């Protein structure tokens, strides 16, 4: 059972840190070998782990109605998730069982069936092979055995998770809290490849030790440097970034304090996804490793409330974040990537201010060695 602080607990702890000029601290320092960001062998081991681990694939909101589907690669494998006529989400390898063509060629859409664009083999939303043109040309064809190859799909906390290995351990999902609700309306989805190792990109999301140095004119005027709450649950974590305006809660009775709009939450869902809950919008960010030096970022943007006004606020919020602090973070991680081969560091040192990163590397190391 996931136990995270409620609004009142977050407010109390943040205000205490402000008063005492403190922040949450980890229990240890971690040294991660630089070779683990460069090694092809390590990269292949990480992708193998991703294929046997439940990974966030899309928000449930992207599959809002029967026939709605989302298709993209995950750990190098083309996949498609679709909501069936019975309301159940199912997922398959996005590959025709005839000659291997993708059956869903768009990133998203709504369909009554999947029709291969090469020869017209047709599959139902349940993955069953329904129709083969000129079927007499395939004597003895067993349609049951030639349905789309299934992978496991689970819905938790408003997200769809896919496990490629049908025998994979899905216990990671037991700790997932409710993250995306009915009011979180999906309004944008995009993919972009960044020339950086996926772990370097991830690390930049889950620590606030860099705010003053990296974001002196964008985030720092509204927030704090090196003042965060870090809560770990299972292999996952939640990092809280408070805004200075949280101080107005001092005037409210402790039991009535609400923190909506006063903090940013960044949930790291082990191993490679993040849910960022900002003032007016929420993002699901999936960091899909393509090589030791390239990561495909799949991002879904959602409102934090329903209605046209909420949508306008979400877009303004996202524009500010994307055009300012996020651009600064991209520049930093790209510079780190360029420096990997310099020989300056045998290992990166993550200190007690970087608790969530240490938690991630501990769990990744454990998972790879298990």
More confident residue, 168 or 176: 176
Judge contact between 64 and 53, C-beta under 8 A: no
Structure tokens at 100: 């291997």
Per-domain boundaries in the chain: 7-52+177-369, 55-168
pLDDT recorded at residue 187: 97
With tokens 């860099």, the residue in question is: 210
Q: pLDDT tens for residues 243-255?
A: 999 999 999 999 9
Q: Which CATH architecture has domain 7-52+177-369?
A: Alpha-Beta Complex (3.90)
Bridge partners of 110, per DSSP, are: 68
Structure tokens at 31: 């040294």
pLDDT-based confidence at 1, cuts 50/70/90?
A: low
Of residues 257, 255, 260, the one with CA closest to residue 242 = 260
Bridge partners of 81, per DSSP, are: 70, 91
| E strand or H helix that includes residue 361 | helix 355-369
pLDDT recorded at residue 6: 97
Is a pLDDT exceeding 70 seen at residue 32? yes
Is a pLDDT exceeding 80 seen at residue 370? no
Q: What is the pTM of this model?
A: 0.97
Greatest alpha-carbon pair distance for the chain in Å reads 79
Distance CA 233, CA 245 (A): 28
Q: CB-based contacts of 207: which residues, under 8 Å, 6+ apart?
A: 228, 239, 353, 354, 355, 356, 357
Is a pLDDT exceeding 70 seen at residue 170? yes
* Whole-Å CA distances, 61 to 56, 140, 233, 296, 337: 13, 41, 24, 21, 34
With tokens 């780190």, the residue in question is: 336
Per CATH, 7-52+177-369 and 55-168 having the same topology is answered no
Q: pLDDT tens for residues 98-113?
A: 999 999 999 999 999 9
Of residues 56, 77, 67, the one with CA closest to residue 158 = 56
Q: pLDDT tens for residues 199-231?
A: 999 999 999 999 999 999 999 999 999 999 999
Bridge partners of 283, per DSSP, are: 276, 301
Distance CA 195, CA 321 (A): 21
pLDDT-based confidence at 2, cuts 50/70/90?
A: low
Q: Which CATH architecture has domain 55-168?
A: 3-layer Sandwich (2.102)
Crossing angle of the two packed helices 198-205 and 325-339, in degrees rounded to 10 = 140
Is a pLDDT exceeding 80 seen at residue 324? no
């Amino acid at each position: 059972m996931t136990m995270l602080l409620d609004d009142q607990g977050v407010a109390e702890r943040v205000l205490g840190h402000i008063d005492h000029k403190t922040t949450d601290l980890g229990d240890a320092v971690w040294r991660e070998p630089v070779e683990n960001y460069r090694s092809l062998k390590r990269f292949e081991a990480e992708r193998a782990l991703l294929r046997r681990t439940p990974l966030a694939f899309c928000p449930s909101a992207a599959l809002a109605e029967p026939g709605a589907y989302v298709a993209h690669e995950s750990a190098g494998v083309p996949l498609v998730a679709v909501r069936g006529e019975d309301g159940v989400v199912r997922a398959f390898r996005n590959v025709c069982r005839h000659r291997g063509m993708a059956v869903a060629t768009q990133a998203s859409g709504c369909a009554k069936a999947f029709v291969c664009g090469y020869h017209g083999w047709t599959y139902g939303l349940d993955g069953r092979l329904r129709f083969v043109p000129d079927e007499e040309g395939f004597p003895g064809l067993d349609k049951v055995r030639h349905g789309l190859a299934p992978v496991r799909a689970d819905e938790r906390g408003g997200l769809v998770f896919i496990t490629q290995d049908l025998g994979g351990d899905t216990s990671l999902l037991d700790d997932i809290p409710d993250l995306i609700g009915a009011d979180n309306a999906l309004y944008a989805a995009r993919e972009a490849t960044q020339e950086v190792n996926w772990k370097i990109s991830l690390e930049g999301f889950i620590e606030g030790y860099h705010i003053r140095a990296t974001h002196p004119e964008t985030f720092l005027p509204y927030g704090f440097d090196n003042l965060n709450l870090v809560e770990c649950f299972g292999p996952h974590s939640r990092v809280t970034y408070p805004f200075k305006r949280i101080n107005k809660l001092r005037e409210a009775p402790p039991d009535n304090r609400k923190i909506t709009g006063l903090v940013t939450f960044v949930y790291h869902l082990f191993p490679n996804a993040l849910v960022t809950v900002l003032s007016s919008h929420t993002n699901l960010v999936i960091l899909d490793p393509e090589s030791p030096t390239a990561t495909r970022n799949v991002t879904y943007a959602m409102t934090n409330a329903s209605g046209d006004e909420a949508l306008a606020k979400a877009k303004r919020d996202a524009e500010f974040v994307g055009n300012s602090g996020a651009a600064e973070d991209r520049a930093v991680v790209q510079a780190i990537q360029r420096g990997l081969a310099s020989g300056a560091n045998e290992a990166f040192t993550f200190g007690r201010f970087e608790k969530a990163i240490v938690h991630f590397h501990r769990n990744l190391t454990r998972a790879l060695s298990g």
